[in-house]
Amino acid sequence: MFLPSKKDLKTALEVFAVFHWISIAFFIITTVTIVNLYLVVFTPYWPVTVLILIWLAFDWKTPERGGRRFTCVRRWCLWKHYSNYFPLKLLKTHDISPSHNYILVCHPHGLLAFGWFGQFATEASGFSKIFPGITPYVLTLGAFFWMPFLREYVMSVGACSVSQSSIDFLLTHKGTGNMIIVVVGGLAECRYSLPGSSTLVLKNRSGFVRTALQHGVALIPAYAFGETDLYNQHIFTPGGFVNRFQKWFQSMVHIYPCAFYGRGFTKKSWGLLPYNRPVTTIVGEPLPMPKIENPSQEIVAKYQALYIDALRKLFDQHKTKFGISETQELEII
């Protein structure tokens, strides 16, 4: 009788953990939709659906009021397998005092932000030990909080809405020691997520700087080396039919449809799982911000330039440790 080795079992658990994270949103949305349609159309239990919708309406603002985290979910052993798949590693360059609040700005987004989720939405990399007294709040699209049960799952790891009202609440109503995690490049960076790429969408992203100034909180640059190496992309001929469709689709819904691919369930197969390549996140030094209630555009531009300089310095100090050429620089677009 064939029995899997410990190594095979470990690999299978790691693959399952990553596949779970990729597919969970689709699985929950599909299941909730089908079950509730069935209850309403084919059974007398339609009041269950009504109760779910009443709860959704009653609880609608929770993702903008600090969410509803469960430390036990953040500490699931599943996330350790997720982290070991790549593996993920979290490093800091400076201690962070819990007597202040912070906005940690993450780069790059990558295709599915695997590193940022594993590092800050779970305890797989030991966040609470590396940053004692700091509570992380990962901010994500409000659409994740529209679907019952999915929103509960997302909030359980400490995620909140990325809306301005959510950010203002976290920085003013939750005391100190809070770290807001934002990936400012967002989905616009997906098209630049290629192995070896260091292109960031940042030049026209100044909202996070304005918010930091309005609240007088420090900005912390963070860079995930290896995040863009997790998938390959097929680049279509510029000006060709598919490329024109990609640009048209982006103009309509602000999402660039990428033809990306990685590995399958076995190591040498093709599929949509990311390649198991290391991702190391370096968290830099806090950049203090003065509190200016209504900063002018010139003031915002000044501090955005200071932030970009700090980010470039962080990248240049560590890039050669991760196989990046000394001559390669960040490309800010």
Residue 2 and residue 25: Cα distance in Å, rounded? 34
**Is residue 109's pLDDT more than 70?**
yes
pLDDT score recorded for residue 267: 77
Question: Rounded to 5 degrees, what angle do the CA atoms 29, 34, 38 make?
Answer: 150
| pLDDT confidence band for 1 (50 / 70 / 90) | low
**Is residue 324's pLDDT more than 60?**
yes
Condensed to tens digits (0 to 9), the pLDDT of residues 195-240 reads: 988 999 999 999 999 999 999 999 999 999 999 999 998 888 888 8
CA dihedral 276, 79, 26, 147 (to 10 degrees): -150
Condensed to tens digits (0 to 9), the pLDDT of residues 31-78 reads: 999 999 999 999 999 999 999 999 999 999 999 999 999 999 999 999
User: Could you write out the DSSP letters of every residue in 304-332?
Assistant: HHHHHHHHHHHHHHHGGGGT--TT---EE
| pLDDT confidence band for 93 (50 / 70 / 90) | very high
CATH number for the domain formed by residue range(s) 4-230+273-330: 3.40.1130
Rg for the chain, CA atoms, rounded: 21
pTM of the model: 0.91
CB within 8 A of 175, min separation 6: which ones? Answer: none
DSSP-H helix ranges across the chain = 6-42, 46-58, 71-74, 77-85, 114-120, 127-130, 150-156, 164-172, 207-215, 241-253, 297-318
Would residue 239 be called left, alpha or beta, if left means φ above 0 and alpha means ψ between -120 and 50 degrees? left
Condensed to tens digits (0 to 9), the pLDDT of residues 225-237 reads: 999 999 998 888 8
Strands 159-161 and 135-140: parallel
pLDDT score recorded for residue 34: 94
Sign of CA dihedral 238, 243, 246, 251: positive
